[in-house]
Structures are given as C-alpha cells and as structure tokens.
Amino acid sequence: METLIVELGEQRYPIYIGERLLHKNALFENAIVGKKVMIVSNDVVAPLYLQICKDSLKNFSVDEIILADGEKYKNLVFFEKILTALLNKKHTRDTTIIALGGGVIGDMAGFAAACYQRGIAFIQVPTTLLAQVDSSVGGKTAVNHALGKNMIGAFHQPQAVIIDIMCLQTLPAREFAAGMAEVIKYGIIYDADFFLWLENNVVDIKTLNPVALTYIIKRCCAIKASVVAEDEKEQGARILLNLGHTFGHAIEAEQGYGKWLHGEAVAVGIVLASKMSRLLGLIDSLQLQRIRTLMENFDLPVDAPKAMGLSCFMRHMQLDKKVLNGNLRFVLPTSIGCCALFDNVTQAQLHTVIENSVDG
C-alpha cells in the first residue's frame, strides 16, 4: 500500500493507494468520526462493493442510500435525497458519510457532508479512474445546474481517500478511457517526463497492469496533493488544474450531462486548448500532435461535437468559474509539462480554433 498526505494543517489527511483496500478495516476505523456511518453509492457500484465496504464497518452503525448512476443525476433533487436519508435515519454531527463510487457520488456525498448540520465528516472511496486520480482529492464538492456544471458547491476536505485499484477491474472501458484524460492532463500541466512515460506504456495501462495503475494514480495524487496544499480554495496555482475544462464543461452542458462523459469532454477541451496554444505560438506542431495522439491512443475523442460553434461555446463559457470581471480566462499549455493562465484570447482566435475542430 502506498500512502500520501495532503498537507492542510489541521485538515491534513491521508490518501491510501493499493489492492483490496476495501477489506482493510483499520483504514476506515482510523478515519471515521463517531459511531454512525451513512454510505452513499449508486445502483451500479453498490451491487459490486457495498457489502465489502459494510463488512469493514462492523464496529459501526451503518445506513446506506443508493442513487441512480450518471452525471444527469448530479443535481439538487438527488442531493436532497441524501439529506432526507440522513434526517430519516436521525444522523447527527458525529456521523461520517462514506462516498462509494465515482466522481458524481464523491461530489454529491461530499457536498451533503459540507451542508448537513453545517458540516460533518466524510471519506472518499473512489471506484473510477477519474475519481481516483482527480476528483476525490482536494475537497471540491458540488452539484450541477442546468445552466452550468459544478455551479453549486463547497470546499470540504475528506477525512481520508481510500483508493482500491481492484475496483478498476469492473470499470467499463469507456469509463477507464475517460479517467485517462485527467491522467494525461497532469503530464501536460506539470510533468513532461510523466507524459513521456504515458506515451511509452499505453499497453500496460490499458491492460490494467497493477504496477502501472499504482504508478499513475500515485503520481497524479501526489501532484494534486501538492497543489491543494498550496492553494486549497483555487485562488492561484490550483486554477491550472482546469486545463481543458472551460471547453469541456461547455460540451457537457450543451450535449446534456451524461451523454458525454466528463473525461471525454475534457479530452476534447485539452486538444482545443492545445490548438489555441499552437495558434498563439506557445507550442509547436509536434507537441500539439503528441497531445492529440496520446488522447487517441487511449480511445478518447479529440474533436468538438457537431453543431457546437463559437456562439454555443460562448454561451456556456461565460458561466465558467475562471471568468474575472467579465473576461474569459483560459489555461493553456506553454509546453508539455507547463501551463499558464491567459486572459487575452480573442473571439476571432476562439472562432478559428473551434470552427476547425468540429467533428465531421
């Protein structure tokens, strides 16, 4: 088992990475506050892992709520279902919520923990690659609104993140590929050597080699932990982790949450951001091609959806959380391994990039 620490003073917490960690009673017992637990999961993950998780919680009073699976259910209606379950079961401030699932469950359960009785403890148990390498770490919790993704939420750090890589054995190939978009993102933003390692180890990763999986999860979590420790509330360096998300969130909102997986939309968003970098002369054509090819090698889309022109993107991007004083700001790669925030992108440049990037 590998262990990392997110250094946030009194809020510091561990990230555990390894095989069969759902069976490790002590990992849960060390992180749980009080004697009551509410497990939040969905109807895909629960049949696979809920009982295993409950078997590791025999010293606690355990309730559960099982939600429908999918991004389209990440909204205030299903968020309220979690709160109602907590109230019906008479949970109090010494309850710990366990988020057992992917990014949607982690975000909603975490937001419920942030809000219930003004804040209770929670533990992240991510079961998808995307959640394991990104969304489970850092304390961002939220639900979507019809007009924008993750517009309603709070920063609320977990007690621990327990990452069992065996959960990836049951993850559909499309979901695994979506997670790889976030893995590739970390290489582009922070680590050129990691990006090169990904290029050279596509087969091992796609065949779920446990050594390769442990390495990529640990590397991504280490980067995320370092960034969060420096900038917990996304006022500075943490903004760079949004590479591709300004474009990607627009795709998700326009297409309908769930039609495109988050990682798929981010993959296209990263390629669009890279094309903008190439247009501005920040990267060369070889770097752009390497980024595009690595996405394709992991079976990810690289072109924007049909019928999404500039006006469509702009309507959604104006709601992006990086907008400052009415100005759109974009995270753009300046090389593979380095990114920066730019606020001088023109609509003409956006038009050029978007109109030349639409699928078919």
Instruction: State how far the Cα of 344 lies from the Cα of 171, in Å rounded to an integer.
Output: 40
Q: Is pTM beyond 0.85 here?
A: yes
| pLDDT < 50 positions in the chain | 360
Structure tokens at 143: 């639900």
How many residues comprise the chain? 360
- Whether residue 182 lies in the annotated active site: yes
H/E run at residue 49 = helix 46-55
Question: Which CATH code, of 3.40.50.800, 3.30.750.24, 3.40.190.10, 3.40.50.1970, is assigned to 2-170?
Answer: 3.40.50.1970
Q: Give me the catalytic one of 58, 90, 118, 306.
A: 118
| Amino acid (1-letter code) at residue 288 | L
Catalytic residue among 224, 275, 316, 329: 224
| The pairing of beta strand 95-101 with beta strand 36-42 | parallel
Please tell me which residue in 71, 175, 232, 234 is annotated as part of the active site.
234
Residue 20 CA, chain-centre distance (Å), reads 22
36 belongs to the catalytic site: no
**115 close to 87: Cβ distance less than 8 angstroms:** no
Going from N- to C-terminal start, the domains of the chain cover: 2-170, 173-355
Which residue of the set 81, 140, 185, 292 is catalytic?
140
- What distance in Å separates the CA atoms of residue 33 and residue 227, rounded to the nearest whole number? 26
Domain 173-355 belongs in CATH node 1.20.1090.10: yes
Reported as type and span, the H/E element at residue 13 is strand 13-18
Cβ(241)–Cβ(155) below 8 Å: no
* Amino acid occupying residue 181: A
Residue 224 is predicted with a pLDDT of 96
245 is catalytic: yes
Asked if 76 contacts 102 with a C-beta cutoff of 8 angstroms, the reply is no
> Which pLDDT belongs to residue 360?
38
Query: Six-digit token pair at 355?
Result: 């109109």
**279-337, pLDDT tens digit by residue?**
999 999 999 999 999 999 999 999 999 889 899 999 999 887 777 777 899 999 999 99
**pLDDT number for residue 358:** 64
Tokens describing residue 186 = 């970390």
Q: Is 20 a catalytic residue?
A: no
Beta strands 13-18 and 121-126 are unpaired
How would you classify the pairing of strands 330-335 and 338-342? Answer: antiparallel
Catalytic site residue 156?
A: no
Question: Is 234 one of the annotated active-site residues of the chain?
Answer: yes
The answer to whether 262 and 252 have CB atoms below 8 angstroms apart is yes
Give pLDDT tens digits for 103-118: 999 999 999 999 999 9
DSSP strand pairing (13-18 vs 161-164)? parallel
Smallest Cα–Cα separation from 187: which of 214, 160, 220, 164? 220
